[in-house]
């Protein structure tokens, strides 16, 4: 299992981690298989979406903020229930195939860490399976 | 493939299944790998979120009820379309890494079965891969 | 890695791909393992939900359209931000177990490709792991 360290810059943030995951795959020397990417936090998530136009992930984060309001008579007293709910909607993990030593992603796809309760120091775990 | 039986207690319910999944991992004797957790139902789901404060999963279920209203001119005649929609939003499966015979979860993370159309008798399937 | 080609018929569409995935599993000759299903697009997704009554996936698509409005002052200039957001909410991949050469799905479950920005020619990738 490998680990990536991330420092998010604000309450809501998205960080393109595609190159870092690709580097882990390259370092492993595994040509064919899959990589499991896992966020060990409950107020963050990982998603795969467009990496070319940075407006896309901004729109995703902004709309998530409308779907899940920051304040809504939540029971959890820490004030970050919206972040927990977004984490469940987007999800804590992704699985990506590896072919010829490279991540199999569509032309426009990139892997994004999503911060919903930053800024914080965060981790992303990755495990590579041959097959 | 292993199977866990769950009895949900009400229409909306969350059940922490972390210990049961960890027991399956322990029984397998597999030290390094991953476990695939799968819900074979279309009105339930599985998510990973905070296990320490039970208010968090209550907030998640309550807010999902606001995002997806129980009644909304749905076509499906059984009256449980909202439950199907929540199942797709939260997702039917999770993948968790195994290191030294233990699930790799963040400090606050637990694995929850989410019931959206109970009470019912439910199953959760788990399959463990070495690697 | 195997690939399925799909032609979606309208802006919003769902296509049951269970039989095609099962065929790939059958062709592989692998009796026990898992299949990773991956959508290499950023305005589409894959989900597992009820396959018996076609009203269920219609309700899912219609309600997603209410949760994520088509127009909402999005920054992304291509006019398909709603499709990108739905892709992140539903997710780009699924993992399904294989037992005795067959997909392990619940009685009512089917695997659906979800089109949020069609009609288009689309691909679904599948990779089968023995174990």
How confident is the model over B90-114, as pLDDT tens digits? 999 999 999 999 999 999 999 999 9
User: C90 touching B, CB under 8 A?
Assistant: yes
Give how far B84 is from chain C: nearest CA, Å.
Answer: 7
pLDDT tens digit string along A58-92? 999 999 999 999 999 999 999 999 999 999 999 99
Give how far B67 is from chain C: nearest CA, Å.
Answer: 7
Average pLDDT, chain A: 97
Contact C114, C45 (CB under 8 A): yes
Are the Cβ atoms of A104 and C89 closer than 8 angstroms? Answer: no
Contacts 24+ apart (CB under 8 A), B58-63: B58/A75, B58/B14, B59/A74, B59/A75, B59/A76, B59/A81, B59/A84, B59/A85, B60/A81, B60/A84, B60/A85, B60/A88, B60/B14, B61/B12, B61/B13, B61/B14, B61/B114, B62/A75, B63/A68, B63/A72, B63/A74, B63/A81, B63/A85
User: C92 touching B, CB under 8 A?
Assistant: no
pLDDT tens digit string along A102-116? 999 999 999 999 999
Task: Spell out the residues 6+ positions from residue B49 whose beta carbon is closer than 8 angstroms to its own.
Answer: A42, A84, A87, A88, B56, B57, B60, B109, B110, B112
pLDDT tens digit string along C48-92? 999 999 999 999 999 999 999 999 999 999 999 999 999 999 999
Residue of chain C with shortest Cα separation from B74: C59
Are the Cβ atoms of C97 and B38 closer than 8 angstroms? Answer: yes
Domain that holds residue B80: 2-130
Over its length of 131 residues, how does chain B's per-residue pLDDT go in tens digits?
999 999 999 999 999 999 999 999 999 999 999 999 999 999 999 999 999 999 999 999 999 999 999 999 999 999 999 999 999 999 999 999 999 999 999 999 999 999 999 999 999 999 999 99
| CATH number of the structural domain spanning residue B73 | 2.60.120.460
- Please give the Cα distance from B35 to C28 (Å, whole number): 22
Q: State how far the alpha carbon of A4 is from the alpha carbons of A39, A40, A107, in Å.
A: 10, 11, 24
Contacts of B84 in chain C (CB under 8 A): 49-50, 56, 59-60
Residue among C34, C49, C107 whose CB faces B127 most closely:
C34
Contacts of A131 in chain C (CB under 8 A): 129-131
Helix, strand, coil content of chain B in percent (nearest 5): 25, 35, 35
pLDDT tens digit string along C102-117? 999 999 999 999 999 9
Residue among C36, C74, C87 whose CB faces A95 most closely:
C36
Give CA A77 to chain center in angstroms: 25
Q: State how far the alpha carbon of A5 is from the alpha carbons of A120, A124, C30, C79, in Å.
A: 11, 7, 37, 34
Phi and psi at residue C16, to the nearest 5°: -75, 110
Residues of C (4-63) whose Cβ lies below 8 Å from A = 36, 38-42
Model confidence at C25, in pLDDT bands (50, 70, 90)? very high
Count of structural domains, chain A? 1
């Amino acid at each position: 299992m490998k680990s990536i360290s991330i420092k998010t810059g604000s309450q809501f943030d998205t960080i393109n981690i595609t190159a870092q995951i690709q580097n882990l795959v390259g370092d492993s020397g595994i040509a064919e298989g899959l990589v499991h990417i896992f966020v060990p936090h409950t107020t963050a998530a990982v998603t795969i979406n467009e990496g070319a136009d940075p407006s896309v992930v901004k729109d995703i984060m902004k709309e998530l903020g409308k779907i899940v309001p920051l304040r809504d008579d939540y029971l959890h007293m820490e004030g970050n229930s919206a972040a927990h709910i977004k984490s469940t909607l987007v999800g804590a993990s992704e699985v990506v195939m590896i072919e010829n030593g490279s991540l199999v992603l569509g032309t426009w796809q990139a892997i994004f860490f999503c911060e919903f309760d930053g800024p914080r120091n965060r981790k992303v775990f990755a495990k590579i399976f041959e097959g």
